[in-house]
A and B are shown apart, each in its own frame.
Chain A
């Protein structure tokens, strides 16, 4: 049995459609019920919906053999999992944003508001720049507007929210998308199944028929 963790919500449903299209659908997944696990014993598949930020934890600790998680979550949590396939969904980028025209002065400690403290810390460490990282849980764009921070590190999709608040993207840290991930121990016992599933999904990702 292959246990698969998918993220609740619109992106998770789009991902499940790709699994379905690749021939890995199970009945009941789309029904609005309180059921948490959807299994097909005969085909050896079992799906469960979890909070997007929890997918990597379920997979890393082996409760799920595979799952699909955002690269932002993987980078931030440092989850020790195999990153098998870029699903090319949920495309966006992790960027530094701030007031239009902002640039830090040499030697200055930059104040950075973010939900992604590990990504931000690593980014500024790689540039040998001192940064005061301020952890926030939401409305990150407010921080530079109220003087709480100089810049923010956050996910940027269209840039419209930034624009509406007189902010702009200053520097791109990395591209973000949803990734098929696998538990390192499960991979050893289900290598053939996981590799076949990844190949079938890859054909869907690249627009070919399975």
Chain B
């Protein structure tokens, strides 16, 4: 690995966002991830084909001088994955620090946001999953001492919903109710279509009602629930994560919550959101996106996350008040 010449300067010249970005880049570099650099433009078709994967499907598009349609990048993962060669026998481990152009959910207008994150894809090994989750937690710890990572497993949640929902559209409606924690609505929606199924609906509701640190009591509850919902294989895979000391050692910062669900057509397996004190919204999100790889015709597994530096404004403002 090339090591650059060290430059000394006063850290005061860096604004908060840049300082945080450099801090995270250093963390990822030290953990074996190399920098991925991509341009600000991308083929518009990439986003048209995978619009459900985007945080927001609005894209700023324009014609290049040759007439081809381009877009200002609203996402980084799609660009990284579209360019990767899946014939390599290794896992690709990259990090990025890029501007993305998205519509703000609050103002409804486009804005440029700085996003730092990492991706691990290709021949991913079992130990890479706890590595990435741990780096997500370390990233949050560097943003604020008070942090929580909400963790779900989409394979478990979707297997459970699949027992009650006949079609993908029904599953999506049920997932939307679960995501908003509208438990009364979820129960009534499922009961109206599939009935109580000899008490199995109560078990499903206990899966989506569970919000807990991954202590032994919680994991026992999840195992019992999963065995009643025919999701033992999925549970065993999820459970292995907590055999890793980096994860079990940080259990007080983890909140297991199976109602946390990403887009069903792209994510499978682990899915997580990170929160820091006073941020008001998730400042980190990530998970396993093997289904995206398949949609792009690539082999292997994939897991990654993004840190939304533009969402740290609230945190900074409240720190200034103190």
Contact = CB atoms under 8 A, between A and B. Distances in A.
A91 to B, nearest CB: 14
Contact of B184 (A60, A86, A187): A86
Contacts of A195: 211
Q: Is the interface of A mostly helix, strand, loop or mixed?
A: mixed
Interface residues of A, number: 21
B314 interface: yes
Contacts of B278: 62
Interface string B214-251: 00000000000000000000000000000000000000
A184 B211 contact: no
Interface string B243-262: 00000000000010000000
Interface residues of B, number: 20
Interface in B98-140: 105-106
Question: Which of A60, A84, A184, A185 lies at the interface centre, i.e. has the most chain B CB atoms within 10 A of its CB?
Answer: A185
B280 interface: yes
B184 A188 contact: no
Interface in A76-90: 80-86
A185 B280 contact: yes
Interface string B267-281: 000000001011111
Given A82-B180, A83-B181, A84-B181, A184 B277 contact: no
A183 to B, nearest CB: 6
Interface string A6-23: 000000000000000000
A62 B281 contact: yes
Contacts of B150: 188
Contacts of A189: 146, 148, 275, 277
Given A83-B182, A195-B211, A183 B280 contact: yes
Q: Kindly list the 4 A-B residue pairs having the minimum CB-CB distance in the complex, ordered from nearest.
A: A62-B280, A82-B181, A188-B148, A83-B182
Interface of A: 60-63, 80-86, 182-189, 191, 195
26 contacts: A61-B106, A61-B280, A62-B279, A62-B280, A62-B281, A62-B314, A80-B105, A80-B281, A82-B180, A82-B181, A83-B180, A83-B181, A84-B181, A183-B280, A184-B275, A184-B282, A185-B279, A185-B282, A187-B181, A188-B148, A188-B255, A188-B275, A189-B146, A189-B275, A191-B211, A191-B255
